[in-house]
Structure 1
C-alpha cells in the first residue's frame, strides 16, 4: 500500500504546484458546471436518507427475520461502511486517473444499486445492494471534493462549498418529503428515487470538463517500509483533528435518520408523511446556515465554528430529550441541521487549508471515509444506550457528550486556524 502511495505521488503530482494552480484557475467553470457538481453532490446526501421515512414499515415487513430491528437500521447506514472502506481507495484512483470516467461509472452503479431495493424481498439481499450503493457513493463523494479543489481556489472555493451544501440540503429536503409521501404508499416506493441518478449522469456528461494536470514519470523510492509507515502516520496525524471532528459530528447527526422516525411514530404517534416533513426541516436549516458560512467565517476561527456547530447539534438533542411535542421537535431538528451545515463546510475548508494540491485527492478521500465511518458507527453507539437507558435518555446523554467536545475544541491549542 505504501509503495503504491509513493508511486501515485511521484507519477501524478511532481509538477510545479504553482503552474498546476494556474492551469486549474484558468478554466473558469460556468454555472452549468457548478450545477453539475451540485447534482452529483446531492447523491451523497440522498443515498442514505431517501428511505429514512420507510424504516418503520420496512422493519415491520421483515419482522420475521432474526435481528430485524438492528438490520433494518443497517439498511440506512450500511452504505456508510462501504463508503468508509472505499473512499481512501477512491482518493488514490482520482490521483492516478482521469476524474470524469470514474464519476460517470459511479453514477450508473449508484442508480442501479439504489433502485434494486424496489424489487428485492430479502433483507440480506437488500443489505448487499446497499453495500454497492455505498461503493458508488464513496467515489462520488470523493470525486466532488476533488473536482471542487481542481476547479476553484481560495475564497471562490469556500463560496462554492457553501452553495454546494445549500443545494444539497434543499434537494435533501425535497426528496425527504417525497420519500415520506411515497412511504405512505409502500416502503418500496422511495427506492425508485435512485433512478434520478440516470438523469444526473446524462446532464453531467454534457456539463463537466476534465481538469488538466501534468503527470510526470514516477520516481523510485528507496525508503524502507518503516520509513514509509512513519511518513503515512505523520500524514494522517496532520489531518487528525479534521478527521476526528468529521467522524464524531456525523455519528451524532446520524441519530436523526436512525432514531427520529421511531421517536415520531412510536412516541409522538405521527404518520410517515410527518417523518419526511420533520426531517426536511433539518435539511432546510442546513441549507440556510451553509449559505451563512462565509459571514460567520469572517468573525470566527475554524476551531470556534467547530465548537459552535457541536453545541448546536447538542442543543437539538437536548430539546428532543426534554420536550416531547412536534413543534419542539421541528426546532430541535433545525438546530441539528444548522450545526451540520456549518460543520461540513468548516471541515472541508480546514482540510483545503492544510492540504497541498498534491495531497488533496487522498486527503479528501480519507475525510469522506471518516465522515461515513461516523454514519456507520452511529447505531452501534446509540442503540446500546437506547436499550440500557431508553430512547429519550439517549438524546440527553449524547447532548452532554457533544457539549463536552465543543468545550474541547473551543480551547483547542493547535496551529492558528484563522488565516
Structure 2
C-alpha cells in the first residue's frame, strides 16, 4: 500500500503550521461567498448567472495563473512567492469589499485568483518538502487545512454577511494579513531553487499519460463539486446568510472529517482506485437526487450536506493519486493538475446559471449533468488503475523518465521531494 505516515501529521514545525494556517484562510475563500450569493443578487440587482461569475473569475484566473507559478517560484524562491500571493489576496479581497457593482467584485475576485494561484501551488510544495511524517502525512495536513477552511468559510461568510455583504471580503483580507505576518516571521528563508523552471513545463507535462488522465479526472470531479457549491444556495429556500452558512458549515465538517480521518483508512484497506470508484458512484447518485428533487429545499439541503463526505474522500485521494503517479517534479505536477481541474471548477457554476436561465428554471439539468460528469470521472480513472495500484504498494512509477526528473532525484530541493520519496 501507499506509504502511511509513521508519525502524526499534526506534529509539525512552526513554519509548516504558518503555511497551513494561511492555507485554511485561502480555502475559506472558496465557500466564503456561498451564504451571500442571494444577498448579492438582490442588493446589486444581479442575475444568478452574473453572481456565479464570482466563482468563474476566481477559479479560471487561478487555473491560468497556475501555468506560471513554477516559473515565478523558481526565480523568487518559495517564501517570496508565498508572500507575493498573500499580498495580492489581501489587496484584492479588500478591493472587492469596497466595490459597488457586481462587475467590480467579479474583476477583483479575478485578481484574488491570481494571488490564490501563487499561494496554493507553492504552499502544497512547501508543506510536502517541510512536513514531518512523509508524503502521505503532508497530504493529510494539506487536506485538513482545505477541509477546515471550507468548513469555516461559510460560517465566517454567514456571520459577516448578515452584517453586510461586504463583510466576508474584508474578513478574508484581515485574516490573510495575519497569515502574511505568520509566514513572514515563522517560515525560514527558503534556499534558492537548483534550476529555473521553464514556462512551458506545466503544459508540456500533459504529454505524460498518468498526469494527463488524473488531471482530466480532477476537471470532471471539480465540475460536479462546483456545480453543487456554486448553484445549490439558490435552491435551498433560505434567505438568511447565517442559516445558509450553517448548512455549508455542516457540509464542510464532513469534508474535513472524511478527508483527514476516513479517506486514508479506506485507501489502506481497499486501495486508491477501488475507493474512488465507489465514492464517485455514490456522489453521482447524490447529485442525481439533488437534480431530481431540485424543487424540494429539504432534499437539496440534505443532499448537499451528505455530499461533504464524498467530496472529502475525493479531495484527499485524487490529490494523492496525482502527486504519486505523475512522472514529473511535484511542483510541476501540482501546477498542471491545478490548471486543468480549476478550469472545470470555474466554468461549472456559470454554465449552470446559463442552463437554468435558458431552458431549465427548476435547475434539474445542471445537477444531472454533474452526476454524469462524476460518473465519467470514475471511468477515466480506471485507465490508470495499474499505476494507482503500484503507487499504493509504494512502488515508484516512472513510465517516461526525463532529465528533469533525474535532476530532482539528485537534488530534492529543486522542486520539493523527488517523486516516490516517502520520508
With the shorter chain as reference, the TM-score category is 0.7 to 0.9
Indicate which of 340, 343, 354 corresponds to 2:314.
343
Within-5 A mapping of 1:242-321: 242-264=214-236, 268-291=237-260, 292-321=262-291
Deviation digits for residues 141-190 of structure 1 (CA, Å, limit 9, x no counterpart): 1011211332258x722122223322332233223122112222221221
Whichever of the two has the greater Rg, that structure is 1
Unmatched tracts of structure 1, length 5 or more:
1-28, 222-227
Q: Secondary structure at the match of 1:254?
A: helix
Match of 1:49 in 2: 31
Indicate which of 79, 84, 100 corresponds to 2:58.
79
Change (3 A) 1:251 1:61: same
Change (3 A) 1:42 1:217: closer
Task: Tell me how far 1:132 sits from its aligned partner.
Answer: 0.7
Q: Secondary structure at the match of 1:170?
A: helix
Conservation of the 8 A alpha-carbon contact between 1:320 and 1:392: no
Q: Secondary structure at the match of 2:125?
A: helix
Conservation of the 8 A alpha-carbon contact between 1:110 and 1:133: yes
Conservation of the 8 A alpha-carbon contact between 1:246 and 1:370: yes
Conservation of the 8 A alpha-carbon contact between 2:283 and 2:371: no
Conservation of the 8 A alpha-carbon contact between 2:235 and 2:300: no
Conservation of the 8 A alpha-carbon contact between 2:97 and 2:169: yes
Conservation of the 8 A alpha-carbon contact between 1:312 and 1:338: no
Indicate which of 60, 75, 81 corresponds to 2:42.
60
Indicate which of 337, 355, 368 corresponds to 2:338.
368
Task: Tell me how far 1:213 sits from its aligned partner.
Answer: 6.2
Q: Name the CA distance, whole Å, in 2 between partners of 1:216 and 1:260.
A: 45
Q: Name the CA distance, whole Å, in 2 between partners of 1:47 and 1:269.
A: 21
Change (3 A) 1:101 1:307: same
2:145 equivalent to 1:174 = no
Within-5 A mapping of 1:404-415: 404-405=375-376, 407-409=378-380, 411-412=382-383, 414-415=385-386
Q: Name the CA distance, whole Å, in 1 between partners of 2:377 and 2:193.
A: 42
Change (3 A) 1:328 1:159: farther
Indicate which of 365, 385, 404 corresponds to 2:355.
385
Match of 1:114 in 2: 93
Instruction: Give the TM-score of the pair, scaled to structure 2.
Output: 0.79
Task: Tell me how far 1:49 sits from its aligned partner.
Answer: 2.2
Unmatched tracts of structure 2, length 5 or more:
1-10, 394-423
Q: Name the CA distance, whole Å, in 2 between partners of 1:234 and 1:132.
A: 26
Q: Name the CA distance, whole Å, in 2 between partners of 1:396 and 1:232.
A: 33
Task: Tell me how far 1:111 sits from its aligned partner.
Answer: 1.0
**Number of positions where the alignment pairs a residue of Structure 1 with one of Structure 2:** 375
RMSD: 2.9
